[in-house]
Structure 1
Amino acid sequence: MPKRSPRTMTTAFLRNLSERFTPSSTPSATKERPDGFYTAATLAASLFPATDPALDGDDCLHDCTTCTIHYPRKFAIDEDDKLYGQIGGFARHLLVATGKTDWVRDVAEEVGSVMEAVGKHKEMVEGGELMLSATNIPTESDFLGEGDGKGNYGRPTRALLLPAFQWVNGVTQESVPELIKGCINRTSTTTTRLPSAQQHPQTQNGHHEPATATTNGTPIHLPPGLTLTPCPHRYLILMCSQATRDARCGQSAPLLRRELERHLRPLGLFRDLGDERPGGVGIYFISHVGGHKYSANMMVYRRGGNNAKGEEVGVGDDGEGQGEAAQCIWLARVRPEECENIVRYTVLQGKVVKPERQLRGGFDRERCLVSW
């Protein structure tokens, strides 16, 4: 990454700080919601700042020139639709570990799975829409070497709850109703402000203790056998890999993951499945999120308290992630040659390189903005 002078870095920092904490001056661009957040109705409302060559250098104008990974020749997608503002709002996102990269068309119909149980008890969810995703995250049985690669739906698994950035361990079909009532409904949502002080209890040797409450102080009541532990990563990249919905998703996700890994490894930020080292970027395949004609879809979750304000991240800075998700930046039409700048600017700085072509929407809890 090219070095910049202290004066340039100071100017960029002040500009980013101003962008993130100055409300939009265009009334027509934002609309107040009952929850106190604002809807950034158009790209002009600047839900996320766009890269600017005057501040970010000319690199933000160019795709990677060393990329050797390419989509198949017949990989054709819709390039005409306007993307921004077309996704439905959601309050929380639950990622269920299955150890698989493809599922039945509707994951809530995976017989015997936690996804099926969540679908059956969805009327119990409070506080807004719960987005449900199956993922290739290894199950607890996989970690113990007892997995069969077919989901192990008869055994306990784990699930990642966002924006809380908390792992729920030991989840079964039978525990789902109490999980929803005692945990999911009590955690923060995409339209609640970030806690003012995001802290997680730690043991004396620096390892996380199981969480008993969300960072906003709401007590959590877990059924017997379930525990909460903070997700150690600073950032998450989620990509649809569900070939049963669209072959392009099954083709694009593995290729993008390889290219993202190529750019993350030199920074010390790549985290493979099961890699629980603090910090870094977790990359997971997920089930259908809509918009497969815009493949590849990519959701980037960024934690608060670690560069969610746009500050530059030092090379190799893989300190422990803290706090809840401050942002989710939802992109589409992502191609392998664009991964370098997505890492450099979107993942690490919260900026969008090609908003007109790629930005579908998302949320920013620090600025109290959403796209829906």
Structure 2
Amino acid sequence: MAILNKLLNLNISDNKESNKELKEKSIDEQIIQSGFEISDCSEICDDCTISYPKSLKFEETEPLWNSTKPFGLHLIISTGKSDWPHDATGIEGTLSNKISNWASEESGKTSIGNIKVTCSSLSNDNLIIDDDYINQKKGDVLIMPYFLWLRGIKLDEVDEKFNILLSIFNEHNLKNKELEKEKGEDNGDIVNNRKDLKFEYIKSKLPTIEEDINLSYIFFCSHKTRDKRCGITAPIMKKEMDLYLRDIGYYRDYGDQTPNGISVAFINHIGGHKFAANVIIYIKSTGQNIWLGLCKPNNCKPIIDQCILEKGKVWPNKVRILQKFDPIEW
């Protein structure tokens, strides 16, 4: 326990020092230091003529950079819906509420950091034919940034299964922190000793875990009950992205299990409705997490081309937060 506390304290201290250093740099410098690149291409596609209704107003004077808090684990619950009650995870006796309560208890207590829980439009046949799924007594959860699925998880399994997962992720993270402290140097260059997390190891601890086959996920807040701007902008953005993904071969129809697709889906309230459309992107091969704000239909093609296919090229005026996790190889 003493060793664990020491490592956690080192991690917290390192993060504070790192955050202090980042704040003293320009946004461009911070983006590059975070492991991303500044795009040389415009974020606007001149060919796109689609626009939002003129009645919608957004906050375009406040800075976007670091306008949301970092997190280390994102649990995304499949509901097949695009809108939810005001408190999407607040209904007692539902899977989303059970997971949200677990996350509230565990968030920030390990080296993983904060845990985010959202409902999503991701769907499956069980949400149509299985009463337990329909009534949220059982369900499927996408685990980001690890590109893993827990399918068919029941209410009484939440604590046990997510405790196992959190323990695996925390143990892996702490080991890598320790390796970084013991890193070697070669001609002044730091040698990266980080070890990759293996799917086989996770499967041995939690046999019901499954790999996700997609290359990337793009999530839009569509929570109209919380703010109509999200309910209006998200479907427009998704339509434009899906059309372009079809053109370039990355779109996947419902039920299509062809690997390396790019999936676009809706999620509930994530904060910052005034910055709609909010876009959260996960990229498997690089471990990159990109959160953009004030996105418009004419940004759709550049976002896919630059942020995803060019692996982490962004525009400082669009970024809310950037995070770099371990690349996923499964």
Deviation at 1:335, TM superposition (A): 0.2
Match of 1:146? 129
Deviation at 1:245, TM superposition (A): 1.0
1:228 equivalent to 2:228? Answer no
Deviation per residue, 1:207-238 (Å, 9 max, x gap): xxxx5517xxxx6346xxxx111110011101
Match of 2:202? 213
Deviation at 1:250, TM superposition (A): 0.7
Change beyond 3 A, Cα 1:197–1:111: closer
Match of 1:355? 316
Matches within 5 A, 1:154-233: 154-187=136-169, 196-197=195-196, 200=199, 213=202, 220-221=205-206, 227-233=208-214
Match of 2:48? 67
Structure 1 length as normaliser, TM-score? 0.69
Deviation at 1:296, TM superposition (A): 0.5
Deviation at 1:87, TM superposition (A): 1.2
Deviation per residue, 1:257-289 (Å, 9 max, x gap): 111112211221112444322101011111111
Classify the secondary structure of the residue corresponding to 1:108.
Answer: coil
- 1:67 touches 1:259 (CA, 8 Å); kept in 2? no
Structure 2 CA distance, aligned partners of 1:355 and 1:82? Answer: 10
Match of 1:92? 73
Change beyond 3 A, Cα 1:353–1:165: closer
Structure 1: stretches of 5+ with no match in the other structure:
1-30, 53-59, 201-210, 309-325, 368-372
Change beyond 3 A, Cα 1:191–1:151: same
Amino acid corresponding to residue 321 of structure 2 in structure 1: G
Match of 1:113? 94
Classify the secondary structure of the residue corresponding to 1:107.
Answer: coil
Matches within 5 A, 1:224-263: 227-263=208-244
Structure 2 length as normaliser, TM-score? 0.78
Matches within 5 A, 1:48-59: 48-52=36-40
Classify the secondary structure of the residue corresponding to 2:37.
Answer: coil
Which range moved further: 235-244 or 123-132? 123-132
Amino acid corresponding to residue 308 of structure 2 in structure 1: V
1:277 to 248, 258, 262: 258
Match of 2:298? 337
Change beyond 3 A, Cα 1:154–1:253: closer
- 1:71 touches 1:252 (CA, 8 Å); kept in 2? yes
